Amino acid sequence: MSQVKSVLCVGCTVIDFVTICGSYPKEDTDRRCLDGFWQRGGNASNVSTVLRVLGSRVDFFGMLSRSDAFRVLLEDLRRREIGTKNCPQTDRDPPFSSVILAQDAGTRTIIHCNKDYPQTTWDDFSKVDLSPYAWVHFEARNTPHVLKMMQSIRDHSERTGQRILISLDLETRYEQNQELCAPCDYVVFSKELAAQLGWQTPRQTCEQLAANIPGSGPKPAFICPWGSAGAGALDANGNYHELASYKQEKVVDTLGAGDSFMAGFIHATLEGQRSLSNAVDFANRVASHKITGFGYDHIAQLSLS
């Protein structure tokens, strides 16, 4: 009996208030914008969206709010058929981000407001039935709890003989989140974070990350998207690959390109059974196609074959 297995994306979902201005506003002035909208954001939440658009089955796991303002997010998750049955709920107001896009300079300025919104705990996660999942994807945050969640997935795999793959999106606070790498199969690491650590190439970054995993046991594969240069990937056996990016004539909207890369990688690996370098190549394609349009729906034009 072959049953289609799902991906579980663990992290947060927030409301983004996006304001598009001709130029960045001067402080203490009163002016109109060119356009604006609000939408569901948050890294794991965006990865869920792109996975659905590509045709994967996906559930989201994160703290949901019962507040009225959050209903539009729940509605969007439902419309896209992203499962939320495992999510705990709170009465607290949802976190939000204010995003200002300045068209002349092409800049994006983002202000996060999460007001100590509660994060999901190990206790919440321990109630999840893992058997429908073939893959669990995490955002690097909430380190002690996420570490226990990862460990329990490893235990579940050992107990049942059904291996659940684990991926991690690591974009902030390497020191604090480093211990999350070891239990993973795949770690995607950002160029910005590499720059902060003084690592200058995707190869150096992947190799440093691998060298920092303690012990001699199996290591995760490390993937490092490197902007217009493409992406580097180091497999568990220490073989390094570099995959060129796909150039685009027109750049329309870069928000969520990293999340699109992540979803493309998961989809190609899980649904397409692609090799590491093939999956990274597909992830490059998805990310570069993403920036040619607003939002994510146009990504549906891409397929694995």
Ligand X SMILES: *[C@@H]1O[C@H](CO)[C@@H](O)[C@H](O)[C@H]1NC(C)=O
d(CA 253, CA 174): 28
Mask of contacts with ligand X, 71-90, x by CB under 6 A?
Answer: --------------------
Q: Which two tokens stand for residue 114?
A: 């999460």
The smaller minimum CB distance to ligand X, of residues 202 and 256, is found at: 256
Residue closest to ligand X, measured at CB: 258
What is the identity of the amino acid at 184? C
Phi, psi of 126 (to 5 degrees): -65, -15
The smaller minimum CB distance to ligand X, of residues 138 and 282, is found at: 138
The smaller minimum CB distance to ligand X, of residues 42 and 183, is found at: 42
Residue in the structure block whose two tokens are 């196609």: 289
Does 269 participate in binding ligand X (rule CB under 6 A)?
Answer: no
Smallest distance, ligand X to C-beta of residue 257, A:
7
Among 7, 9, 13, 16, binds ligand X (CB under 6 A): 16
CA angle 10, 190, 6 (to 5 degrees): 30
Mask of contacts with ligand X, 167-186, x by CB under 6 A?
Answer: --x-xx--------------
Site for ligand X in 21-50 (CB under 6 A): 39, 41-43, 46
Smallest distance, ligand X to C-beta of residue 143, A:
11
Size of the site for ligand X (CB under 6 A): 18
* Cβ atoms of 260 and 290 closer than 8 Å: yes
The smaller minimum CB distance to ligand X, of residues 39 and 269, is found at: 39
The smaller minimum CB distance to ligand X, of residues 59 and 259, is found at: 259
* Cβ atoms of 269 and 137 closer than 8 Å: no
Among 119, 295, 298, 302, binds ligand X (CB under 6 A): 295
Site for ligand X in 130-149 (CB under 6 A): 139-141
* Cβ atoms of 206 and 233 closer than 8 Å: yes
**Could you tell me where the DSSP H helices lie in the chain?**
43-54, 71-79, 122-125, 143-160, 174-177, 191-196, 202-211, 257-270, 276-290
The smaller minimum CB distance to ligand X, of residues 130 and 225, is found at: 225
d(CA 140, CA 195): 18
The smaller minimum CB distance to ligand X, of residues 59 and 235, is found at: 59
Smallest distance, ligand X to C-beta of residue 267, A:
17
Residue 99 burial (C-beta neighbours within 10 Å; 0-12, 13-18, 19+): buried
Burial profile 5-28: b = 16 or more Cβ within 10 angstroms, e = fewer: bbbbbbbbbbbbbbbebeeeeeee
The smaller minimum CB distance to ligand X, of residues 6 and 13, is found at: 13
Smallest distance, ligand X to C-beta of residue 291, A:
11
d(CA 115, CA 92): 9
d(CA 48, CA 90): 21
Smallest distance, ligand X to C-beta of residue 269, A:
20
Among 194, 258, 265, 283, binds ligand X (CB under 6 A): 258
Q: Which residues bind ligand X (CB under 6 A)?
A: 16, 18, 39, 41-43, 46, 139-141, 169, 171-172, 255-256, 258-259, 295
